[in-house]
Amino acid sequence: MIPLATTEATLLASYHRGSQLINAMGGCSTAVLEDSITRVPAFSFKSISDALVFKEWLITKESYFKEIVKSSSNYAKLIKLKYNIEANHLYLFCEYFTQDASGQNMVTIATQQIFEYILENTPVTIEYAFVESNMSGDKKASALSLASNRGKKVSAEIILDDEMIKKYLHTDAKTMQKYWQMSALGAVMSGAIGVQGHYANALCALFIATGQDVACVAEASVGITRFELKDDNSLYASVTLPNLIVGTVGGGTQLSSQASALEILKLPKQNSAKAFSEIAASLVLAGELSIIGSLCANDFTKAHKKRAR
């Protein structure tokens, strides 16, 4: 059982159908591949050489920054620092692990403390600086987050028998693979970040129902759907979402309706946010299978007409 909050009846029917197909095949496989969240403060200097001296100093302070974060939060952990220098500007990637919290506010507070220490102790003059440089990818689609991750990077996969595709989706594996190939080219030509059908539909409905930060769908809906026709005419299908900003504690998850919705998912006590992200990826996979099946069977428009009211 997966709770969804939406006013679109066709969406519910579609995800139900995709889930039925996945269950009929015995389920899908999922994996959390990465788990971290970033804040990226930026600093401006008089010269490139000052920026390089500043970077070398930051490297020597990484262990101390980890202690600052440890003393300020019971949950956040600074994993590592990364650097991007553009002339006399330095962008400092602060990468954190936030356990079962989505961690947006948590890492902002931790980064602020690091930021203030830097301003007070810098060995070179900083002309100006900001605690967030708009490079973290927060609440926006970006090529950087597609290539790496922000939040939980999760994949889900399944191999579908051609007969089961015909039974549940009224099309076949070969046609679905052809559609995916053409739609992937369409995404490239349109300049889309990633290749996917409608991740946002599943994520918006799930996020609202379970008290997530819905604005994070802007980045969470970036991803890659992939279909491959196998030698036995079965279909390998996968989805990869590199930016799932989700949590099971804090924020809107504490509201009564949203807390009840989370209980429906029967999450484990340990690593519940990771389990939640795997469910989200499975739901997205169900939606991709169903919508592409509908387009291949040419009943996409009919379904929307039938269930519009």
Catalytically annotated residues: 8, 213, 304
3-state helix, strand, coil in the chain (%, to 5): 50, 20, 30
State the chain's maximal CA–CA distance in angstroms: 68
Beta bridge partners of 159: 236
Coil, strand or helix at 123: coil
Nearest residue to 145 via CA among 227, 221, 237: 221
Coil, strand or helix at 14: helix
Residue 214 to residue 223: CA distance in whole angstroms: 17
Coil, strand or helix at 85: strand
Q: 182-207 burial, b for 16+ CB within 10 Å, e for fewer? A: ebbeebeeeeebbbbbbbbbbbbbbb
Indicate left, alpha or beta for 27 from its phi (over 0: left) and psi (-120 to 50: alpha). left
Nearest residue to 107 via CA among 97, 119, 121: 97
Other Cβ atoms within 10 Å of 284 Cβ, number: 31
Indicate left, alpha or beta for 112 from its phi (over 0: left) and psi (-120 to 50: alpha). alpha
Nearest residue to 81 via CA among 103, 60, 101, 98: 60
Using DSSP bridges, classify how beta strands 128-130 and 224-229 pair: parallel, antiparallel or unpaired: unpaired
Residue 46 and residue 88 in contact, taking contact as beta carbons nearer than 8 Å? yes
